[in-house]
Chain A
Amino acid sequence: MTETAPIIRFEGVSKHYDSFQVLKGIDFAVARGERVVVCGPSGSGKSTLIRCINGLETIGGGTLTVDGIPVTEKTLPKVRARVGMVFQQFNLFPHLTVLDNLTLGPIRARGMPRARAREAAMRYLERVRIAEQADKFPRQLSGGQQQRVAIARSLCMEPEIMLFDEPTSALDPEMISEVLDVMTGLAQTGMTMVVVTHEMGFARKVADRMVFMDHGEIVETAPPEDFFTAPRSQRCRDFLDKILNH
């Protein structure tokens, strides 16, 4: 890896919900163009970790910088302009057509002229292979199609980093691959990606680095080939046992 400043850097980041500590002094960095897959049992803090990156969760202690900018209330617009996010529940805007879902951000937040926003949106819809659905409403699409629209919606904002929070967990099994294919394609463009997922096949193929979290800590981080063949910690071995051999 070249010696450039990391695009995401956690330094001693902690967070509490009342007395429950979700993140315990996280030190973690992501390089520009790196693809990181975060996994771990539910409640381990992996969702919270990536939601901190675009300020959907506030951090309690430590520092978190994105592209050199410390993430605070004040810098949120600058940070969010650099970060796109895809959610487990898609979170498309149900009252808007697919095309309007994509153009809302560019038009309102970036002041892009409507015609140009539509043109760009159609390009991204083609890229996720769903251009023919542009005038439909989200509820008329399948889960897999909705998630691909959600990915296109994020890409329309031309982010430098894409966050994926369990993007396939709410999908029927037959629709998972269409979403993973789009994500794999995105990875090939050199996008910086942080993905929380249990899709270990995808992780093996796409990830530069695996991160295993448990009880609010990063327990282990390793390149996928080492991670899957020789996990160092017992907790990680137990976890992989459970999800790989069910």
Chain B
Amino acid sequence: MRALLLLPSLLLLSGCSSNWGWYVVNPATPKGWLNLKFLLSGLGYTVQLSATAICISVVVGLLVALPGLSARKWPRRLSRTYVEVVRAVPILVLILWVYYGLPQITGLSLSVFWAGVIALALSDSAFQAEIFRAGIQSIARGQYEAAYSVSLNYRDTMSYVILPQAIRRILPALGNQLVYMLKMSSLVSVIGMQELTRKANELVVSEYRPLEIYTVLVLEYLVLILIVSAGVRWLERRLKTDERA
């Protein structure tokens, strides 16, 4: 851990120290304060975009995962095909396709925000489906049998017995996906979404201080993600009632 921290500090100190010009984002100066506020103004969009996309992708992922666990062949194949196809498209390509391509088929033009949400959610849903499948498969057969023996149907068995247990188990993986989503949302800047990365790019163009501005950007993501990780860990601890003794 210490060695990891040492490396960047050495880089910062060695020779290139004269190149830093923190004035550009120094909150003590009016100009620097303005720039900093400009950079932070993308935060809301980054969070909204990621949060909306993850909510949709969890639902879609579950809907894709369930037929994948069917005893019948066709639902299984359909689910498999969705996962394989969607997983094979790079997120950046999907964003471009949804924003520039999709309106030509549907005739509806999408706002930058919703194009971003759809692309991110679609891409993530394939991974969510795989996570759900693994989580549901990890629940012992006996849980289904017990649920059926007290007359629950498939739907109630899933809703009240299997999924509540599966979700507790996959929470760490869902947390990973949320972090991944926050980072991938930076790609939506290419279609003009005014989120964190786009703001930083714009400021770099006017101020010519990429080193300082992108360093701030790195820190913005770092802090955001550390907060999210802490949140997920807190949730995990709260839901830890099913740990077997």
Give the B-binding residues of A (Cβ under 8 A): 54-56, 76-77, 80-81, 83-85, 87, 89, 91-95, 104-105, 108-110, 137, 139-140, 150, 153-154, 156-157
Tell which of B1-9, B83-91, B108-116, B157-165 binds the partner: B157-165
Q: How many angstroms from the CA of A89 to the CA of B145 in the assembled complex?
A: 11
* Chain B positions within 8 Å of A157 at CB level: 150-151
- CA A76 – CA B165 in complex, angstroms? 25
Contact B149 A83 (CB under 8 A): yes
Flag if B245 contacts A54 (CB, 8 Å): no
Contact between chains at B153 and A77 (CB < 8 Å): yes
Whether the pair A95, B150 counts as a contact (CB closer than 8 A) is no
- Nearest-neighbour CB distance to chain A for B155, whole angstroms, equals 9
Q: How far, in angstroms, from A161 to B20 measured CA to CA in the complex?
A: 81
Check if A80 sits within 8 Å of B244, measured CB to CB: no
Instruction: State which of A56, A92, A109 has its C-beta within 8 Å of the C-beta of B151.
Output: A109
**B161 in contact with A87 (CB, 8 Å):** no
Q: How far is the CB of B164 from chain A (nearest CB, A)?
A: 5
User: Which chain B residues (39-73) contact chain A, with CB distance < 8 Å?
Assistant: none
Contact A139 B151 (CB under 8 A): no
Closest Cβ of chain B to A27, distance in Å, is: 25
B241 near A95: Cβ-Cβ < 8 Å: yes
Q: Which residues of B contact A55 (CB under 8 A)?
A: 148
Give complex CA distance A17, B242 in Å: 34
Enumerate chain B interface residues (CB-CB to A < 8 A).
140, 142-143, 145-153, 156, 160-161, 164-165, 168, 241-245
Q: Which 10 A-B pairs have the closest CB atoms?
A: A105-B150, A91-B146, A109-B151, A91-B142, A85-B149, A94-B242, A95-B242, A139-B245, A108-B156, A80-B151
A95: chain B residues at CB < 8 Å are: 164-165, 168, 241-242
Residues of A within 8 Å of B241, CB to CB, are 94-95, 137
* B161 & A77 in contact (Cβ 8 Å cutoff): no
Q: Which residues of chain A are within 8 angstroms of B156 by Cβ–Cβ distance?
A: 108-109
Do A139 and B145 touch (CB < 8 A)? Answer: no
The distance from the CB of A108 to the nearest CB of chain B, in whole angstroms, is 5
Cβ–Cβ < 8 Å partners of A84 in chain B: 149-150
Q: Among the interface residues A80, A95, A150, which one has the most CB atoms of the partner chain B within 10 A? A: A95
Q: A89 to B165: give the CA distance in the assembly, Å.
A: 17
Q: Which of chain B's residues have a CB closer than 8 A to the CB of A154?
A: 149-150
Distance of B242 from chain A, by nearest CB (Å): 4
Query: Quick one: which of A54, A83, A104 contacts B160, CB cutoff 8 A?
Result: A104
**20 A-B pairs in the complex with CB atoms less than 8 angstroms apart:** A54-B148, A77-B151, A80-B151, A85-B146, A87-B142, A91-B145, A94-B242, A95-B164, A95-B165, A104-B160, A104-B161, A105-B151, A108-B152, A109-B151, A137-B241, A139-B242, A139-B245, A140-B245, A153-B146, A154-B150
**A93-B143 in contact given A56-B149, A80-B149, A110-B151 (Cβ < 8 Å):** yes
Given A56-B149, A93-B161, A95-B168, 15 other A-B residues pairs in contact with their CB atoms under 8 A = A54-B148, A55-B148, A80-B151, A81-B151, A91-B140, A93-B143, A94-B241, A95-B242, A104-B152, A104-B161, A105-B151, A108-B152, A139-B245, A154-B149, A154-B150
Of chain A, the residue at the smallest CB distance from B149 is A85
CB distance from B140 to the nearest CB of A (A): 8
Q: Please, how many angstroms separate the alpha-carbon atoms of A167 and B146 in the complex?
A: 14
